[in-house]
Structure 1
Amino acid sequence: MITFAVPPIGGKGWFGGWMYMQNLVRALAGGDATDIETVLFIGPDRFENPEIRLLADLPRTRVVSDPAFDETGLRCNVGWTLATGRNAAVLGAYNREKVDVALDPALYLGWRSEIPSIAWIPDFQHRHMPHMFSRGAYWKRDLGFRAQIGSAAAVMLSSEDAERDCLEFYPAAKGRTEVARFAVPVSDWPDADAAWARLRQEGIPEDFIFLPNQLWQHKNHGLAIAAAALLARRGSRRIILATGHGHDPRFPDYPDALKAQIRASGAEANFRLMGSVDHALVQAMMIGANALLNSSRFEGWSTTVEEGKSVATPLLLSDLRVHREQAPDAVFFGTDDAEALANAIDVAAPRSLASIRASLKSAASAGVTRQSEFAAKVAQIIRKAAHGALERRAL
C-alpha cells in the first residue's frame, strides 16, 4: 500500500483549489487504485468543516488534523524551509503517518526532503499576465515554482496548455511533466426536478445565463456586463446571473467597480451580481441555466467549465486555448468582444425541464468516464513517484 499525502489547497480565498482538493480525494477513493491510501492533512482550524468530515468516510481515505497545516502556519514555513532544506513541521506530520508520496500544491517540502513530492501547478498566470502582480508577488510565485519543480519527482498539470507553458518557462521540468485533467463528480448533485424547484424557491427566472466565477479581475466580468448592456439596448429580457465570493487583493475595489459599471451602462435589468451563495444553489443554477458563461481572460483548467460539462449545460466560453482543449464543442467569443458574447447569449436556446432531465441522463456516463480517467492518471503518477524513490534508495 502506497500512502499518499494531500495537504490543504485553497479555501475562502481560492474556492477552485478547495474544490480540486476534494475532487482529487474523491476520485482516488472511487477509482480502482486499491494499492493507494490517501491521507488528507488539515489544520485544526478547518478540521470540523462538514465537507472535510465527509471525506473521512471514503474508502482508503484518512483525514488527519495537525497544527502544521493551519492556514497561518503554512504561510510562515517557506523561509525556514528554504534556509534549512526541509519543511520540518510538515515532514514530521508526514513521517508520523508513514507517508510515501506527497502532493505539493505550492507547499514546498524542501530540497532535503526524504519524501518524494508531486508538484501540482494549476497555471502560469503570472507569466501571461505579469501586470496583475506586484514585483514581489511575481518573483515569490516564480521562485516558488522553480523550487517546486527542482525538487519534485513529477510535475502534475491539469491541461496540455499548462504543460506547454511549463516546459517553455521552466525547461528543467522536461521529462517529469504529467497531464491529469481533473473531473468533477456530480453523483450527489440534485436531479433536474430538485434543481428546478430550488430555482423557483429562490425566485430565479427560468431564462438565465449563469456566470459563476470568483470576483477576481482576470475573470473579466466587465465583458459580460458590457454584453448585458447591449442586450438591454436591443430590448432583450435575457439576464446574466453572476455568483462569486472572495476578493481580489490586487484590486480590492473590484466588486464596487463592477456595480458602478452595471449602473453606468444601463445593464441593471440584464445583469445581476448575486455575490456569494451556497454551493447547493450554485449546483441548481448550473443545472437549470440556459448556458454557462466563462468570460475569463486566463484559466488553468476551469472548475466551473468542468461542472457545466458534467451536467451537460451549454457553454459560452472566452476564446482561450485551454477552453478549446477543455470544451471543444462550446460557443467561443473574444475576450474583448462584447457584441459576439451578446449575440451568443441572444441565440442560446431556452431549456425546458424535460430537456434538462434528458441532458443530465446523457451526461452521466461521460462524466463517470472522465472521473475514472483522472483517478487512473493520478494513481499512475503516484506509483511512478513512489517506485522511483524506492529505486533511488536501493542504489
Structure 2
Amino acid sequence: MIRVGIIMYFSKEYKGGINYLKNLLYASHSEAPVYIHYTFFVPSDLDQDIIDAFLPYAQVIKTNVLKRKSMPWYIDKVSDKLFKKNLLLINLLKKYKIEIVSHSNFFSRFGKLKIVSWIPDFQLYHFPDLWSASERNWMINLNKKVVKYSDRIILSSNDSLKDYIKFASEDISKVKVMQFVSQPSSLSEAEFIATQKRIQSKYQIEGDFLYLPNQFWSHKNHMVVFKAINLLKNRGLNPLLVTTGHMVDYRGNDGNIKMIRDFIEVNDLSKNILLLGLIPYAEVLVLMKTCTALINPSLFEGWSSTVEEAKSIGKKILVSDIPIHREQDPETGIYFDPRNESALADIIENVLSQVENKVSNNFLTDGEVQNNLATRTKLFAQKYHQIITELYNER
C-alpha cells in the first residue's frame, strides 16, 4: 500500500485547484489502483459540499492546523519560520503514515517522505505587471522552493515545460508533464431538470446563450467578449452572455472588475451580460450543457479547465488563439484573436445564426465524446500512477 497525502493549503475560492484535485482523484480511482490510498487533509471549517466531493476517492481529515488564523495554524506558521518545518503538519502526516505528499506546496521532510509538487503555470513571468511586488516575490520564492525541495514536479502542458526550462531550468529530470482531464459531474435526469428550472427562475435566463465560466482575473480577458457583445447589440442583435466566477482578483487588481461593471453600465448591457459570480457547481454543469457555446478568451493558461470541460461534454467552444489552447486541441473549438473583438463578434454572430437556422451544433456523436473522455482519463491516471510508483520505489 502506498499512502499519498494531499494538503489543502489554498483558499476554497480557488475553484480551479479544487476541481483539479477532484479530477485527479477521480481518474486515479477509475483505474482502481488498490495499492494507492489517498488521505486529503483539509481545514476544519471547510464547506461540507467540498468535502463530499472527495469522500468517494479519499479519506478526508479535517484539522485546525489548516484553519486560517486558528491557534494551531499560527503555531505551525511560526514553527515553519523558526525551524523550516511545519511541525504540527508533520505529526499529522506521521499519524496517518503518509509516504508521499502530492500537489500541496509542502516542503518539510521526515524519514523517507517524498514530495510531488504541481506548478499550474508560469503566468507571472509573462504578465508581471498584473501582480503587486509582494505577490510577485511570494510566487517567485514559492517556485524556487518547488524546484529545490520537490522530488517530482508536475507541469500540466508542454507549453509550461518550455517556460520551466526558460525560467527555472534547474534539474529538468524532476519534471513530468501530466495533462489533466476534467470530468463532467454526473446529475440524474431529475436533478438536471430541477437545476435547469432553478437557473431559469433564479437568474432569468431564457433562450439561447453563450457561457463564459472563468474567474475574473485580469489575464482572463473578459473585456474582449464584452466588447464583442456590445458590437453585436449595435448591429441590432440581442445576444445573451452568461458569466460565472469569483469576482475578485486575488492579486489585488480589482480595477479590472470596476472596468467591467462600468463598461456594462455605460453601454446598457445589463440584459445582455449577466455577472452571476460564484454559483453551485451543479448550476455550472447545467449551464455548460445547455449553452449554445462556451467561450474562453484568456490571454494565458496553464491548461484550461474550461477547454477540457468542453472536450469532455462535446460542447462547441470559442477559444483564444494562444499556444496552450492549440496544444489542448479541442475538436469542438473555434479559434479567435484574443485582442480582436470585431473578429470575435463575427464568429458569435455566425454561431447564433446557425442556431437560429437550425444548423446542427454537434461536432461529435455522444459515443465519440464518451470514448475520447475515457481514453484521456485513462492516460491521465496512468501517468500519475507511474509518477507515484516510481517515487515510492526510490524510497
TM-score, reference length from structure 1: 0.88
Aligned to 1:336: 339
Say if 1:215 and 1:54 are closer, same or farther in 2 by CA, change over 3 A: closer
Structure 1: distance between partners of 2:160 and 2:82: 30
- Deviation, 1:276, is 2.5
Counterparts of 1:35-50 in structure 2 under 5 Å? 35-46=35-46, 49-50=48-49
Structure 2: distance between partners of 1:258 and 1:39: 41
Contact 2:99 2:113 in 1 (8 A): yes
Give the counterpart letter for 1:317 in structure 2.
V
1:135-166 Cα distance to aligned partner (Å, 9 max, x none): 22111111111111111110011111112111
Contact 2:99 2:112 in 1 (8 A): no
1:194-237 Cα distance to aligned partner (Å, 9 max, x none): 37656555542331110111122221111111111111111122
Aligned to 1:393: none
Structure 2: distance between partners of 1:45 and 1:157: 30
Structure 2: distance between partners of 1:325 and 1:103: 25
Give the counterpart letter for 2:13 in structure 1.
G
Q: Does 1:347 align with 2:345?
A: no
* 1:162 corresponds to which of 156, 160, 183: 160
Q: Does 1:26 align with 2:23?
A: no
Say if 1:96 and 1:246 are closer, same or farther in 2 by CA, change over 3 A: farther
* 1:374 corresponds to which of 368, 373, 380: 380
- Deviation, 1:123, is 0.7
Give the counterpart letter for 1:120 in structure 2.
W
Indicate the larger mover: 88-97 or 242-251: 242-251
Indicate the larger mover: 282-291 or 76-85: 76-85
Contact 2:184 2:285 in 1 (8 A): no
Secondary structure of the corresponding residue to residue 314 of structure 2: coil
Aligned to 2:134: 136
Structure 1: distance between partners of 2:143 and 2:270: 42
Counterparts of 1:72-221 in structure 2 under 5 Å? 72=69, 77=76, 80-81=79-80, 83-105=82-104, 107-110=105-108, 114-186=112-184, 188-189=186-187, 194=193, 200-202=200-202, 203-221=204-222
* 1:365 corresponds to which of 361, 371, 376: 371
Secondary structure of the corresponding residue to residue 272 of structure 1: strand
Say if 1:187 and 1:258 are closer, same or farther in 2 by CA, change over 3 A: closer
Structure 2: distance between partners of 1:269 and 1:251: 26
Structure 1: distance between partners of 2:159 and 2:178: 12
Aligned to 1:243: 244
Say if 1:238 and 1:173 are closer, same or farther in 2 by CA, change over 3 A: farther
1:264-316 Cα distance to aligned partner (Å, 9 max, x none): 23434432222222211111110011110011111111112211211111111
- Deviation, 1:78, is 5.9
1:234-256 Cα distance to aligned partner (Å, 9 max, x none): 11222211112241142234333
- Deviation, 1:79, is 6.8
Counterparts of 1:232-311 in structure 2 under 5 Å? 232-249=233-250, 250-311=252-313
Give the counterpart letter for 1:84 in structure 2.
F
Secondary structure of the corresponding residue to residue 182 of structure 2: coil
Secondary structure of the corresponding residue to residue 172 of structure 1: coil
Structure 2: distance between partners of 1:272 and 1:102: 40
Say if 1:80 and 1:258 are closer, same or farther in 2 by CA, change over 3 A: same
Aligned to 1:228: 229
Contact 2:311 2:330 in 1 (8 A): no
Secondary structure of the corresponding residue to residue 350 of structure 1: helix
Say if 1:190 and 1:332 are closer, same or farther in 2 by CA, change over 3 A: farther
Contact 1:156 1:179 in 2 (8 A): yes
Structure 2 portions without partners, runs of 5+: none
Structure 2: distance between partners of 1:3 and 1:20: 20
- Deviation, 1:16, is 0.7
Structure 1: distance between partners of 2:336 and 2:82: 47
Contact 2:316 2:363 in 1 (8 A): no
Indicate the larger mover: 186-195 or 201-210: 186-195
- Deviation, 1:362, is 3.7
Contact 1:232 1:266 in 2 (8 A): no
Aligned to 2:61: 64
Contact 1:78 1:108 in 2 (8 A): no
Indicate the larger mover: 10-19 or 224-233: 10-19
Percent identity over the alignment is 26
Give the counterpart letter for 1:221 in structure 2.
H
Secondary structure of the corresponding residue to residue 102 of structure 1: strand
Q: CA RMSD in A?
A: 2.7
Contact 1:198 1:284 in 2 (8 A): no
Contact 2:9 2:66 in 1 (8 A): no
Say if 1:75 and 1:159 are closer, same or farther in 2 by CA, change over 3 A: farther
